[in-house]
Amino acid sequence: MKDSRLVRRAHAMPRPSRICRRSGAAVALTGAVLVAGLALTSWHYSLPEAGASAPAVRLYAGAQPVGVIYPAHRAQSWVPLNRIPPSVVDSVLIAEDRRFWTHAGVDPVAVVRALQVNLKRGELRQGASTITQQLARTLFLDTRRTWARKLRETAISLMLEFRYSKSRILETYLNTVYLGQIGDVPVYGLPAAARHFLGKDLAALEIHEAAWLAGAIRAPNRLLAGAQAEARTRRNEVLVAMQEQGLIDPRTAERALSKALPRLSPDANRVAPYFVDVVAAELGRRTQLPTSGEIQIQTTLNLSLQRAAETAVRDGIGRIEKARPHLAGRVQAAVLAIEPASGEIRALVGGRRYGDSSFNRAIRAARQPGSIFKPFVYLAAFEAERRGQGLTPASVLADEPLSVRAAGGNWEPRNMDGRYHGSVTVRRALEQSLNIPAVRVALDLGPRRVADVAHAVGIERPLAPVPSLALGTSEVTLLEITSAFATLANGGSRMVPTALALDLAGTGPALAALPPSTRAVSPESAFMITHLLRGVMRRGTGAGSSAWGLQEITAGKTGTTDGLRDAWFVGYTPDLVVGVWVGLDDGSPIGLTGAQAALPIWGPIMQMAVRQSAPAPFRPPPGVVLTSVDRVTGRPVSFWCGSDDAVQEAFREGTVLPEGCDSIVQTGVNSVLDGVQKLFR
């Protein structure tokens, strides 16, 4: 019975051939399921489309590059693998993954070596990432050093190798690997890095340059931007390894090793970074930027003037901080130069150093203008005089104690010198930047009218129509105040500022038209203010301009705010307006006037401009006459009425000037004539 049962069991058991066939089928089925699962899962991890380049807008000032704008907020250009030089490919493989062509996404040799180090240290410190793993991490994962992320990275790498060819993976890596920053814009790929750091196409790279870029992949922000000794060591390691692998001959290696590290191109340190930001903002308002490829755009920048402005800011800040050590590292300054006839921005500096702060103080910082606002008070009065009201430049004002009723009590303005000067002409009040006469004029006109005129000439921010507006208590930007003075320089016509040059060749993108020029104030009023501001440069608070030989050919005004918090200066010729602001970002006092802090920055810039191109003279427009008057009394000067301080004053044609004078000669002659008249009677 027992034998029969064994026999029956033996007969019931499948034969060995059947077992093999069934096992093979199961294995095949399992393998097929795994392959199908891997294929389906890998589809979730897709490489970017080949040729996917981020758009780039290249800016020029004439033939000189100024900077690059990246509308997609990333610098990347795609070059197919068959167009990437072998020296570049070899450099990267030597630096990052020498067994790339033989592994399946993970390098077992490197893994064992890294595992030994990490287990010894008890943490994940040394990587063993292949190019495929780096690609997986860059495209699909974060950069945290954890075992879980490393396992996911490995799995994704295997899936990428299953789905894509080695060439496709390598091409994607070369075009997407992270290689540092351009300000806050990341650089991806060897082609973009070659263009940004070296100003070259990838095909033009020399072997030592290719090794330098490849060697920096592991720490690009450090190795490409500053650590020269470490970058050179890393580059040389790549070159030596390439020779050992037979990729370059000993002579080529020797020449490459002797080369100095590459000098960064202008793209790496933008010529005028604050200006480039302004261009980017204007392009965003006026055109639709491309979604791929490159375009070239001409800007309005004058490179010589820009360099002069940057030097003047650096020197001016250095001089202030040397004299006031407690301000070291805190002083900021901004410069803006505008061509009044076109509104084109010729130079712009938005702060002491773009790398420390990209905040553009020339465009965005709103500060009280202080006494630099006073010309617009008198401009409003001259516009009122055109309608039979208001003042002339020779009108006499009272610089005497004044009490103005205001919310919370009476306001009593004071002059900066703490004194009262009695009766003063409009000219003297503006040249000496007296506060009380300006407040009186604003009160007579009404602060609302002053605000309206200021808005008309270029101030866009709200202006509080209160008596203190005359002393510049409403905040403005340097762009606004410089634009307002540009309206004066342009004879009362306001132009919209722009950083984009006219595209005469028609090669750039179509731009929305700027608003047309507008007549803000009459040419007569604009010239009369300009004529007064020329006196500021000769005798008033801008007299320091004589240090640069500018006192006879420019007009301008200083600005100092309450508590010496902000220092301003705007000066101009008919061809160029240059505005300067100096202060601290936190609004605390800098302790200097506009003449002390801002004028010394303005002087070298304007001096460069007039040396570059002789300015046109200031000419009175039709409807303005020049008459000699006494600067103190404002009365006409004649043979009978002499003056020790006579000036040529500008008046609107038809203005009736006060008659008579107090000279001894005139009094004596009048007495004789009166006696003769009585005798004949």
Question: Do the beta carbons of residue 272 and residue 335 sit within 8 Å?
Answer: no
Q: What is the number of helices (H) and of strands (E) in the chain?
A: 23, 19
Quote the Cα angle for 317-320-326, to 5°.
Answer: 110
3-state secondary structure 113-171: HHHHHHHHHCCCCCCCCCHHHHHHHHHHCCCCCCHHHHHHHHHHHHHHHHHCCHHHHHH
Distance between CA 130 and CA 571 in Å, rounded?
61
Task: Tell me the sheet residues that pair with 410.
Answer: 405
The answer to whether 165 is a known catalytic residue is no
Q: How far is CA 529 from the centre of its chain?
A: 31
Other Cβ atoms within 10 Å of 73 Cβ, number: 9
Place of tokens 């009023």: 525
Quote the Cα angle for 255-256-262, to 5°.
Answer: 130
Q: Which of 103, 177, 577 is closest to 375 using CA atoms?
A: 577
Q: How far is CA 428 from the centre of its chain?
A: 38
Identity of the amino acid at 462: P
Q: Which of 644, 640, 642 is closest to 672 using CA atoms?
A: 640
Q: Which residues of 311-339 are buried (b: 16+ CB within 10 A; e: fewer)?
A: ebbeebbeebbeeeeebeebbbbbbbbbb
Q: For strand 422-425 and strand 396-399, is the pairing parallel, antiparallel, or unpaired?
A: antiparallel
Question: Do the beta carbons of residue 496 and residue 463 sit within 8 Å?
Answer: no
> Could you tell me how many residues make up the chain?
681
Identity of the amino acid at 41: T
Q: Which two tokens stand for residue 77?
A: 């250009």
Question: Do the beta carbons of residue 580 and residue 335 sit within 8 Å?
Answer: yes
First to last CA, the chain: 179
Give the up-direction half-sphere exposure of residue 427: CA atoms within 13 A in the CB hemisphere. Answer: 26
Q: Which of 492, 540, 536, 498 is closest to 518 using CA atoms?
A: 492
The answer to whether 258 is a known catalytic residue is no
Q: Which of 371, 474, 493, 643 is catalytic?
A: 371
Distance between CA 286 and CA 308 in Å, rounded?
29
Q: Which of 96, 344, 431, 524 is catalytic?
A: 96
Q: At what angle do helices 435-445 and 374-386 cross, to 10 degrees?
A: 40
Q: Which residues are catalytic?
A: 96, 371
